[in-house]
Structure 1
Amino acid sequence: MCDTIARYSNYIEVYIVETIELSVFDHGAQHTEILRALLDVFEARQHIKVHLDVIPWLGSWSRMVQVALYKDGPDVSEIGSTWIGDFSNMNAVRAFTAEEIHQMGGASAFLKPSWQGAGTQSGLHSSDFTLWGMPWLADVRVIVYRRDIYEQAGIDLNAAFKNQETLEHTFAQLQSAGVEVPLVLPTLRSRIDLHILASWIWAEGGKFFDPLQERILFDQPEVLRGLARYFGLGRFLAPAARGLDDLTANDSFFNGHAATVIGGHWLLLDERIRKNFADKIGVIGVPPSSFVGGSHFVIWQHSRRASAAFKLIEFLAGSDTPLDLYPGFGFPTRLDAIARADFVKDPNWNAMIQAAAHGRTIPVGRLWGMIEKRLVDLIPVVWHEIFATENPEVEAIVSRRFTAVAERLRLTLHA
């Protein structure tokens, strides 16, 4: 029996004062049952009944937009970290008060990128920060590699992942050693691909946009250099590793076909890794900084039970956050929870935590939702053109495609 559930399993039936609704993404049947049991504990403690709505990942964005537009649905929702700007701009979610932030421990209690990605900055000072979501689960992009294949190819693991240049040298060395699929990436429509390539943009000193001045920047020279270098990795994607989505790219690694994959915490949870080569993999952050995302809890503006909703958030994401949730749901954003968790003793999980602690997020801004959608739509188009050309001029393709989208977005904004 899980720790938190076991401690409170002797509660007798209690009276209910309030009823609220919580929506979360579908993290799998087993983990959902753990959450349901924890909500029973919360009910016994607080006399607040929680109706749980589990939302499939596919279509979750559309569902949350409906909640925002029609002002009807859950009191509390788990939402993706990059969605905060859209819903705050729609005035659909309620900002957390200074007292609530203090009760949760403030910024210093959380992983820095998770906290930064949960609010908007209206000025240059810390007092200009508004927290719209309470960080709950962290997710970070990391390189997961087959240690045994790398060693057989004579690769120095201490030097293989230092920067983008050494990564290219590493993949070339794997190719030269006869490794058919040195790298696998999602090249069909995928938000994960966007999160991965962010590190290549940051390596060149670029950024997607400026949230304070609301300027689109992904066609600037430094960004285009990073993008060209990222799409240049196509030369390491064997024919069998092209045209894959998130799931099939992961499958290629899980089934032992690929030496390297870039993804998130779910890679370490897959049963195929644990069965086939758990002791043969390594994990390291993407240089120079990994993208950190995850999910936050929001309280919807339409909720008339904000006080009860905050109590639930405090229970699930506060200083006593139930460790039963992790790492099945992801890993906690709270530093005290990370310090208490047993799973971080595993070297690979610890490497993932370190990547998150030193990672970056994409700043929340009014424009990001629109920019993200355009880029997610554009990335597979660029991959397709590169793969369809025998000797692609990657820099020219990237410059032409990304500049055109940036210019169209500017026209839309000015209109």
Structure 2
Amino acid sequence: MHRFIPHHLGQITRACGDNTFQPVVTARLVCLVQNCSVTAKKERSLSIDFVTPLFDPRANELLANVLQEFDKKNGRKTNLINYEWGQIWRELVNVTIYRTGGDLAEIGSSWLESLVSMNGLRPFSSQEICEFGGKEVFFQSLWENLTIGSEPIIRGLPFQADVRVMYYWDDMLETAGVEPKETFISAANLAAGLEKLQQHYDSPLILPTGTDTHNILYNAASWLRGAGGEFLSADNRQTAFCEPQALAGLRAYFGLHKFLPPQNTPITDAEVLDIFTRRKAAVTIAGPWLLNHLKNNVESKELISHLKAALPPGPSFVGGTVLVVWQHARDISAILTLIKTLFEPELQYQLGELDGFLPVQKRFWTEEYMSRNPNLPVLRQAILTGKGLPVVPLWGMIEDRLNGAFGAAWNDIHSAQAPLTPQDLDAILNDRLVSMARRLDITLAE
């Protein structure tokens, strides 16, 4: 069994007393009290675990109110518990191993395989899935995130969706004579468009290069797959990210370094939000939380009207959160009723507004909903045409190592003493990826 340290889905910041910003992540958890053993000394009971890309206490308050109404209607007592990010994986593991505590949890979609490998999650029956509308009500890309390898058993339900798309300020592109419809259709066209933008803006692009989140991996996936590459072979027994097509995509992705602000330290997610919000860069790649961030931090409606979204030059990364039930949960009927409550459309809309996620069910994407932001149709298309990361045994370990290798490659780029040539970039990628791929191939073949 490998130990996979989960990662958050976006950058969360909170204003501090010294006017700086610090990363803050909390997980929202709720447990059916009859199965809990929460004490003042140690809170080990978990049920619904919410990880929010943009932390907002109003989301906790909203969920608490919904749970209170659920209690009144169903004669139950639910308990909402907050855990900071540094605690959450230990608590999830404790619940899974010791089979006590929480009943229902919302987890990051890429955590599913790790918890399944511990044999801690209860499968949803075909009848139960039908009661939620069947798999057809969910977007296919999100449902595929639930299927581990060739196993048909479903141990989670998509709850909130996360995707990566390109964002740009259309007036800045217009000033540089860059046509968006042509620019974002391929990696080569994007590089050409950024070169034109660089004639007007020193650093036209901003994207994260640090390992404080796994966004550097999620972002790179579009370039890797857009070039025809994949992370694993078709039988999942070998790595594929060092195959020629995959390396060509990664070379194009890391080649974007020449359009980034010059600095010798990694660019954090918080810096990306700040630089793009202040229009110090014309283009970025981010998740749906960027829409919420700009809505809350840019007062000018005219300025916001210049924000546009486009699909990246390859399938968008599709992730998000998943509802799971632990094996030791007892009051399954009440838990399923609670899940149905959490799928109420208005709650989905309100949580998305606060958390920076998107609805997972097709029926929620009404014309009225998509009219709330002119960029939502692009994000919907990203879910329809995008793809999650592999959901196979050991993927958690592979993802962790890949993200670290990508971060190390970015560090090499930032610390370069002279402008990098294409040969220099190839050497960096070979150094960081090839030997790691060989070691992983041995593990996968066992």
TM-score (norm: length of structure 1): 0.88
Q: Which residue of 1 aligns with 2:397?
A: 370
Q: Which amino acid aligns with 1:84?
A: L
Aligned pair 1:269/2:292, yes or no? yes
Q: Which residue of 2 aligns with 1:346?
A: 373
* Alpha carbons of structure 1 residues 248 and 58: separation in structure 2 relative to 1, 3 Å: farther
Contact 1:319–1:334 (CA under 8 A) maintained in structure 2: no
- Structure 1 residue runs of 5 or longer lacking an equivalent are 1-15, 123-127
Q: Which residue of 2 aligns with 1:247?
A: 270
Aligned pair 1:397/2:389, yes or no? no
Q: Which residue of 1 aligns with 2:74?
A: 46
Q: Which residue of 2 aligns with 1:260?
A: 283
Pick the aligned partner of 1:288 from 308, 314, 336.
314
In 1, Cα distance between equivalents of 2:96 and 2:233: 25
Larger deviation, residues 245-254 vs 162-171? 245-254
Aligned pair 1:183/2:210, yes or no? no
Aligned pair 1:409/2:440, yes or no? yes
In 2, Cα distance between equivalents of 1:322 and 1:290: 22
In 1, Cα distance between equivalents of 2:77 and 2:215: 35
Aligned pair 1:37/2:65, yes or no? yes
Q: Which residue of 2 aligns with 1:142?
A: 165
Please state how far the C-alpha of 1:269 moved relative to its aligned partner. 0.5
* Alpha carbons of structure 1 residues 336 and 386: separation in structure 2 relative to 1, 3 Å: same
In 1, Cα distance between equivalents of 2:371 and 2:158: 19
Aligned pair 1:81/2:109, yes or no? yes
- Structure 2 residue runs of 5 or longer lacking an equivalent are 1-31, 37-46
In 1, Cα distance between equivalents of 2:222 and 2:257: 16
In 2, Cα distance between equivalents of 1:264 and 1:274: 21
Aligned residue pairs: how many?
394
Q: Which residue of 2 aligns with 1:202?
A: 225
In 1, Cα distance between equivalents of 2:434 and 2:197: 34
Contact 2:35–2:103 (CA under 8 A) maintained in structure 1: no
* Alpha carbons of structure 1 residues 384 and 323: separation in structure 2 relative to 1, 3 Å: closer
Q: Which residue of 2 aligns with 1:11?
A: none
Please state how far the C-alpha of 1:166 moved relative to its aligned partner. 0.8
Q: Which residue of 1 aligns with 2:142?
A: 114
Contact 1:327–1:343 (CA under 8 A) maintained in structure 2: no
In 1, Cα distance between equivalents of 2:234 and 2:337: 31
In 2, Cα distance between equivalents of 1:315 and 1:241: 49
Q: Which amino acid aligns with 1:327?
A: E
Deviations 1:185-244 (A, max 9, x none): 111103011000001111121111247443222222221111111111111112159621
Deviations 1:51-91 (A, max 9, x none): 11233345534442333233333211111111111111211
Q: Which residue of 2 aligns with 1:151?
A: 174
Larger deviation, residues 88-97 vs 390-399? 390-399
Contact 1:181–1:241 (CA under 8 A) maintained in structure 2: no
Contact 1:344–1:353 (CA under 8 A) maintained in structure 2: no
Q: Which amino acid aligns with 2:353?
A: P
Q: Which amino acid aligns with 2:391?
A: V
Contact 1:147–1:281 (CA under 8 A) maintained in structure 2: yes
Contact 1:81–1:293 (CA under 8 A) maintained in structure 2: yes
Please state how far the C-alpha of 1:268 moved relative to its aligned partner. 0.5
In 2, Cα distance between equivalents of 1:401 and 1:240: 21
Contact 1:139–1:293 (CA under 8 A) maintained in structure 2: yes
Contact 1:22–1:51 (CA under 8 A) maintained in structure 2: no
Larger deviation, residues 354-363 vs 267-276? 267-276
In 2, Cα distance between equivalents of 1:273 and 1:19: 45
In 2, Cα distance between equivalents of 1:101 and 1:345: 30
Q: Which amino acid aligns with 2:297?
A: R
Pick the aligned partner of 2:360 from 333, 344, 357.
333
Q: Which amino acid aligns with 1:257?
A: K
Larger deviation, residues 210-219 vs 382-391? 210-219
CA root-mean-square deviation: 2.4
Contact 2:107–2:324 (CA under 8 A) maintained in structure 1: yes
Contact 1:161–1:287 (CA under 8 A) maintained in structure 2: yes
Aligned pair 1:314/2:340, yes or no? yes
* Alpha carbons of structure 1 residues 79 and 342: separation in structure 2 relative to 1, 3 Å: same
